[in-house]
Amino acid sequence: MSVLEKFRGCLLGLAIGDALGAPVEFEQLTGIRARFGRAGITDLVPWHSLPAGSYTDDTQMALATVRGMLAAHERGRTKGIVHGPSMVYRAYLDWLATQDDPTQRRAPGNTCLSALRSGKMGTLDAPLNYSKGCGGVMRTAPVGLAFRGTEAFRQGVEYAVITHGHPSGYLSAGFMAELIGHLVDGTSLDDGLDQSSETLRIYAGYEDTLEKITQARVLAGNRTDLETAIREIGEGWVGDEALGVAIFCALRFPDDYRAAVIAGANHDGDVDSTASMAGAILGTMLGAEAIPAEWIAKIENRQEIESLAARMHEIWG
Ligand SMILES: [Mg+2]
């Protein structure tokens, strides 16, 4: 499979997973089943008067990460040395400005809003808060398309700590970035998890994140049923749990994008984020051709997502 298919798979995969979970983000599994039947939500449907395929803040911010990285690349090419995280921070501020438009407000996370409104950019040396919400990890999968290995991890950490100051908030993001890079290179999911875990252990405060990754791997391996396994890992409102749920879904359905995002979208927690992250992993692993064509046809801003993937591929593919 071509590298371009993996880039498309990552961006379309995360957006479509997000759009699948969006209509049920704040519902419990029992409520989801009451609305959609025993199998839960299994297709893109309209929500909040938005058409089917509309995504949430997760995808908006992941695309902002992409725009920030592209801007950093462009500036580096024309002006020499550039500080990547500062360019990504600017892209997040551009996203913040869109949140004044009610049609663009898609249940944004409070930590992201308040951190970006503070006028300061959080860094590892000067974090703005002690939040471990999943608002960091939900937006860093595309970092693995531009960087590899420990550098992908570090960039992911720096982009997440802009808004989230707890290690579980930013290390989960670094992990996601490095994992995606391994999958682009054709490394197996298990080996990618092993290698990203090695990097994770270098950082202070890694323990909770590693515990969730390990738990996801054990539960995926021992055939624990889907519902019980995800409940044990957690609801995913915090970064380490969201990462754990997404990894579990990918390991349980490594050949089936649709099944993995449906698993990520049907539980008691932050389902748009976990489905989005599972979608990024599977989309990168299997390529965009593994994503149902009728879903790709329906996703919001498809042309823009495709052109961002193509642009990233021109530079980093
Ligand atoms: Mg969301």
Q: What is the pLDDT of residue 17?
A: 98
Whole-number Å distance between alpha carbons of 159 and 215: 26
124 φ/ψ angles, rounded to the nearest 5 degrees: -60, -35
Cα of 37 vs its chain's centroid, Å? 27
* pTM of this prediction exceeds 0.75: yes
Rounded to the nearest angstrom, the distance between the alpha carbon of 55 and the centre of ligand 1 is 8
Extract the tokens encoding 156.
């992911």
Rounded to the nearest angstrom, the distance between the alpha carbon of 19 and the centre of ligand 1 is 9
Rounded to the nearest angstrom, the distance between the alpha carbon of 78 and the centre of ligand 1 is 35
Superfamily of domain 3-316: ADP-ribosylation/Crystallin J1 (1.10.4080.10)
Q: What is the pLDDT of residue 81?
A: 84
Extract the tokens encoding 242.
């969201």
Rounded to the nearest angstrom, the distance between the alpha carbon of 108 and the centre of ligand 1 is 6
Rounded to the nearest angstrom, the distance between the alpha carbon of 307 and the centre of ligand 1 is 22
Q: What is the pLDDT of residue 5?
A: 98
In the chain, the amino acid numbered 268 is D
Query: What HEC string does 258-284 produce?
Result: HHHHHHHHCCCCCHHHHHHHHHHHHHH
Q: Which residues contact 312 (CB under 8 A, 6 or more apart)?
A: 7, 66, 69, 70, 142, 145, 146
Rounded to the nearest angstrom, the distance between the alpha carbon of 22 and the centre of ligand 1 is 7
Residue 47: CB atoms within 10 A of its CB come to 19
Q: Which of 283, 294, 229 is nearest to 256 (CA)?
A: 283
Q: What is the pLDDT of residue 223?
A: 86
Residue pLDDT tens, the chain, 317 long: 899 999 999 999 999 999 999 999 999 999 999 999 999 999 999 999 999 999 999 999 999 999 999 999 999 999 888 999 999 999 999 999 999 999 999 999 999 999 999 999 999 999 999 999 999 999 999 999 999 999 999 999 999 999 999 999 999 999 999 999 999 999 999 999 999 999 999 999 999 999 999 999 999 999 899 999 999 999 999 999 999 999 999 999 999 999 999 999 999 999 999 999 999 999 999 999 999 999 999 999 999 999 999 999 999 99
Rounded to the nearest angstrom, the distance between the alpha carbon of 26 and the centre of ligand 1 is 10
Partners of 238 in the beta sheet?
133
Residue 258: CB atoms within 10 A of its CB come to 18
Return the domain boundaries, the chain. 3-316
Rounded to the nearest angstrom, the distance between the alpha carbon of 317 and the centre of ligand 1 is 28
Q: Which residues contact 16 (CB under 8 A, 6 or more apart)?
A: 44, 53, 55, 261, 279, 283, 291, 295, 296, 299
